[in-house]
Amino acid sequence: MIAGELYRPGDAELVTARARSQALQRDYNATTVAETDNRKAILDQWLGRYGSGCALRSPFYTDYGSNIYLGDDVFFNYGCVLLDVCPIRVGDMTQIGPMVQILTADHPRDAATRDAGLEFGRAITIGRNVWIGGGAIILPGISIGDDAVIGAGAVVTRDVPAGITVAGNPARPLVAKPATD
């Protein structure tokens, strides 16, 4: 699954791992911002890596949590969903608005493969100092370069190079208008 190969989501080991994640997210989402020690203890058990200075506003939702790797000083606002059947890597100082969805989970386009109950995923990498506006959706397999900006509500269907601002559905680069005298 983590390698992006076809897998069965009903596999007993995966069901157990998701149940563990759900218990940890329930515990985390019941805390307040002031409960820093308790939150850190939960995140240390839940996420693959949680850098120093990170702030994750609850509620915060994952499939597994263990496939999420956050750099230092990463911020997630309220209501974010990270479907981490494959690794999600977020660079230092990245800020993510409320209700953002980061989705590595995918489904076969072939009906027979879907009918067989198989799924797959593709990893997502988000660079350093990226800003993702509220309600944006990052689709499977996307890479977002350092210093990029993703507009609120954008649906990111293609890689975003470093330093580029994208917006819309599907997300497209914004072109700066020439200055007028």
Task: Give the catalytic positions in this structure.
Answer: 107
Burial classification of residue 32, based on how many CB atoms lie within 10 Å of its CB (0-12 exposed, 13-18 middle, 19 or more buried): exposed
Residue 76: which H helix or E strand, with range? strand 75-76
Amino acid at 163: G
Q: Are 104 and 86 in contact (CB under 8 A)?
A: yes
Report the distance separating Cα 136 and Cα 165, nearest Å. Answer: 13
